[in-house]
């Protein structure tokens, strides 16, 4: 079992497979970064798998593949199958922008993927283009359909932005409700990589938009999820609100992150990280596990969001995987 320095059980590994992306979302990566991590610096799937096996043996029961855009990695389905074959009952999920899913959702499901969280910020082609930097909506919607048809469990993530897509909160909620998918509205997290003019929406304002049409009631948090759940009184449809600024889910934080280059990050908001790359490439898995234990021993209690000094996070979401 993996326990961090504050006594929290850690059983959730988020793996960023690449920092590269085929979108340029205004809130994440409006410009192409000055330089990408060279491909040769990425951990190969073979090396990643060596670490994943050890992490599972140590007590990881939930793995999420993210990025950047994880579907850009060739042989993604083979990597998923390697994990699935090693531990079929693992909660194996991925977060994606959905653009390439149309052609691969079936293969990912067949390989052993169970759940997908797909980002969808607008149902209007021109607004989707404005946010993502290119014409994406048709492919994303086709990707969502393909994922549902393949039998994957799908959640939708939306980041509401003032004067951009705030008028679509109810439309997206209803789009998800009609298809049996849970939507989570994510408060925009200010960060130095995002477009400087963006204004996010507060959770209470997001809820106000929904209350204009529906009566809602609180459910609360489930397990270690960052989402606070609500229910529509009419028909019981459940949706979530994620406020990444908050600390209240840090008490039950169960996660550790691995970047595509092999850095283990103890917390979404901290720059400290330790690399397992050399150890894994040398085949020294015991050392990689020892590094993971050290990172967890130093895992912070909570994010520093409330401290003025870190009003804007310097960590790129495309690097940590969100």
Ligand X SMILES: Nc1nc2c(ncn2[C@@H]2O[C@H](COP(=O)(O)OP(=O)(O)OP(=O)(O)O)[C@@H](O)[C@H]2O)c(=O)[nH]1
Ligand Y SMILES: C[S@@+](CC[C@H](N)C(=O)[O-])C[C@H]1O[C@@H](n2cnc3c(N)ncnc32)[C@H](O)[C@@H]1O
Among positions 118-157, residues that touch ligand Y (CB under 6 A) are: 119, 157
What are φ and ψ of residue 221, in 5° steps?
Answer: -90, 150
Q: Is residue 303 a contact residue for ligand Y (CB under 6 A)?
A: no
Q: How far is the CB of 300 from ligand SF4 (least distance, A)?
A: 6
Please state the closest distance from residue 116 (CB atom) to ligand Y, in A: 9
Alpha-carbon torsion angle 38, 28, 144, 221, nearest 10: 120
Binding to ligand SF4 by residue 200, rule CB under 6 A?
no
Site string for ligand Y, 183-222 (x = CB under 6 A): ---x-xx-x--x----------------------------
Least spacing, CB of residue 47 vs ligand SF4, in Å: 23
Contact set for ligand SF4, span 54-113 (CB under 6 A)? 67-69, 97
Interface mask toward ligand X for 252-291; x: CB under 6 A: ---x------------x-----------------------
| Of 95, 122, 224, 254, the one binding ligand Y by CB under 6 A | 95
> 16 Cβ partners below 8 Å, 6+ apart?
66, 67, 68, 70, 257, 258, 259, 260, 319, 320, 321
CB closer to ligand Y, 92 vs 159? 159
Q: Which of 42, 65, 100, 242 binds ligand X (CB under 6 A)?
A: 242
What is the per-residue binding string for ligand Y in 100-119, x denoting contact by CB under 6 A? -------------------x
Binds 191: which of ligand X, ligand SF4, ligand Y, none (CB < 5-8 Å by kind): ligand Y
User: Cα separations (Å) of 322 from 8, 81, 136, 318?
Assistant: 20, 24, 21, 7
Give CA–CA dist 42/73, Å, rounded: 11
**Residue 205, both tokens:** 């304002």
Contact mark string toward ligand Y, 6..25, x via CB under 6 A: ---------------x----
What residues make contact with ligand X under the rule CB under 6 A?
A: 64, 66, 93, 95, 117, 155, 157, 186, 225-227, 242, 244, 255, 268, 303, 322
Residues at the binding site are: 14, 21, 25, 27-28, 64, 68, 95, 119, 155, 189, 250, 253, 255-257, 267
What residues make contact with ligand Y under the rule CB under 6 A?
A: 21, 27-28, 66-67, 69, 95-97, 119, 157, 159, 186, 188-189, 191, 194, 317-318, 321-322
What residues make contact with ligand SF4 under the rule CB under 6 A?
A: 21, 23-25, 28-29, 67-69, 97, 119, 249-250, 253, 255, 267-269, 300, 302-303, 317-318
Residues at the binding site for GTP are: 14, 64, 95, 155, 255-257
């Amino acid at each position: 079992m993996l326990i961090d320095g504050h006594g929290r059980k850690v059983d959730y590994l988020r793996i960023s497979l690449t920092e590269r992306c085929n979108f340029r979302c205004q809130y994440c990566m409006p410009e192409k970064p000055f330089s990408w991590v060279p491909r040769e610096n990425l951990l190969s799937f073979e090396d990643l798998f060596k670490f994943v096996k050890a992490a599972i043996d140590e007590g990881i029961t939930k793995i999420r593949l993210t990025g950047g855009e994880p579907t850009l990695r060739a042989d993604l389905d083979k990597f998923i199958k390697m994990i699935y074959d090693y531990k079929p009952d693992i909660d194996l999920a991925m977060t994606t922008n959905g653009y390439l899913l149309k052609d691969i959702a079936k293969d990912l499901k067949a390989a052993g993927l169970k759940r997908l969280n797909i980002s969808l910020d607008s149902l209007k082609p021109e607004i989707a283009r404005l946010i993502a930097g290119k014409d994406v909506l048709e492919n994303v919607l086709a990707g969502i359909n393909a994922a549902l048809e393949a039998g994957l469990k799908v959640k939708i993530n939306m980041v509401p932005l003032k004067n951009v897509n705030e008028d679509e909160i109810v439309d997206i909620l209803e789009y998800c409700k009609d298809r049996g998918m849970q939507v989570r509205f994510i408060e925009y997290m200010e960060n130095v990589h995002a477009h400087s003019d963006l204004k996010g929406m507060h959770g209470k304002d997001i809820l106000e938009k929904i209350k204009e049409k529906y009566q809602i009631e609180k459910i609360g948090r489930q397990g270690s999820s960052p989402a606070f759940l609500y229910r529509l009184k009419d028909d019981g449809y459940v949706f979530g609100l994620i406020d990444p600024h908050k600390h209240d889910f840090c008490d039950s934080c169960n996660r550790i992150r691995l970047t595509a280059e092999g850095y283990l990050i103890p917390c979404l908001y901290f720059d400290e990280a330790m690399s397992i790359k050399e150890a894994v490439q040398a085949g020294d898995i015991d050392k990689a596990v020892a590094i993971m234990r050290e990172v967890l021993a130093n895992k912070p209690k909570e994010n520093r969001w409330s401290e003025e000094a870190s009003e804007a996070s310097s960590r790129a979401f495309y690097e940590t995987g969100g």
